[in-house]
């Protein structure tokens, strides 16, 4: 039995957490499934955009309690090895070359917020709840912290990591955890609009734009990188098509409308 769903339709790969009876909490099996699916989506030429969402009322409640109970008697070495697989999941999604849209259909808690933080664009509805709830269990959001601190900043991390308090979607928007909040009634329609908007962009250009965001802050000679990056795209077949479409007042070939 698979704990998630994977489908590709018209360039959109939808990866859906599918353990609704336990709020899509993850265990070691789901972790491995997601690593495989994101790797496959990145390497699939039919996939241009990846959408991560969940079935049921929640997006992801973090770690499965039954899975956590199996670790109670783990040694230090066993705990480190287990945590490294979880770290591999977040790294796989975060470093995925293709754009990842988080369609957050409900509560995202603990490690579930970590999944939110490794998405490129996040939309949710106003009934969703969020929380770095680990301290309420005597733990800390250690594995997800590099991605979450980059997303919400040092001050918000101090406030919410330490307290473990839950907060609503509008607070999540204010701290840059999510990009858009809709009503529950409009959630599907607005999510489809976001996906359609991404599909207007050139497939290779999206990959290169995401790469630019990651690369630019770590470079000393930014001018050399940026000038070569734009020159490379200008002479590429996709860049030529995009510029010609603009000049000829037509839609680019990758727009399926």
* pLDDT of the residue at 1: 61
In the chain, what are the domain boundaries? 4-198, 203-247
Assign domain 4-198 one CATH number from 3.90.226.10, 3.40.640.10, 3.40.50.300, 3.40.710.10. 3.90.226.10
CB 49 within 8 A of CB 101: yes
Instruction: Enter the pTM of the model.
Output: 0.94
Q: At 218, is the pLDDT very low, low, confident or very high (cuts 50, 70, 90)?
A: confident
Measured CA to CA in angstroms, residue 172 lies from 20, 36, 137, 163, 235 at distances of 23, 29, 22, 15, 41
For the stretch 127-160, pLDDT in tens is 999 999 999 999 999 999 999 999 999 999 999 9
**E runs forming strands in 37-99:** 49-54, 58-60
């Amino acid at each position: 039995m698979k704990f998630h769903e994977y489908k590709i339709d018209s360039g959109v790969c939808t990866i859906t957490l599918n353990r609704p009876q336990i709020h899509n909490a993850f265990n070691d099996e789901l972790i491995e499934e997601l690593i495989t699916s994101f790797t496959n989506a990145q390497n699939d030429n039919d996939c241009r955009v990846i959408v991560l969402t969940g079935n049921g009322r929640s997006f992801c409640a973090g770690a499965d309690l039954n899975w956590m109970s199996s670790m109670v008697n783990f040694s230090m070495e066993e705990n480190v090895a287990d945590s490294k697989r979880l770290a591999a999941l977040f790294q796989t999604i975060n470093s995925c070359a293709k754009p990842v849209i988080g369609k957050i259909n409900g509560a995202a808690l603990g490690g579930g917020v970590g999944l939110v933080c490794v998405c490129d664009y996040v939309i949710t509805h106003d009934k969703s709840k969020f929380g770095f709830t680990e301290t309420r269990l005597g733990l800390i959001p250690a594995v997800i912290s590099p991605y979450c601190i980059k997303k919400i900043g040092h001050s918000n991390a101090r406030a919410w990591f330490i307290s473990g308090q839950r907060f609503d979607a509008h607070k999540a928007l204010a701290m840059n955890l999510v990009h858009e909040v809709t009503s529950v009634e409009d959630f599907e329609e607005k999510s489809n609009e976001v996906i359609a908007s991404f599909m207007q962009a050139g497939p290779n250009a999206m990959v290169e734009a995401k790469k630019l965001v990651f690369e630019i802050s770590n470079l000393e000679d930014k001018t050399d990188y940026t000038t070569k990056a734009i020159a490379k795209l200008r002479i590429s077949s996709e860049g030529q098509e995009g510029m010609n479409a603009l000049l000829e007042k037509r839609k680019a070939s990758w727009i399926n409308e």
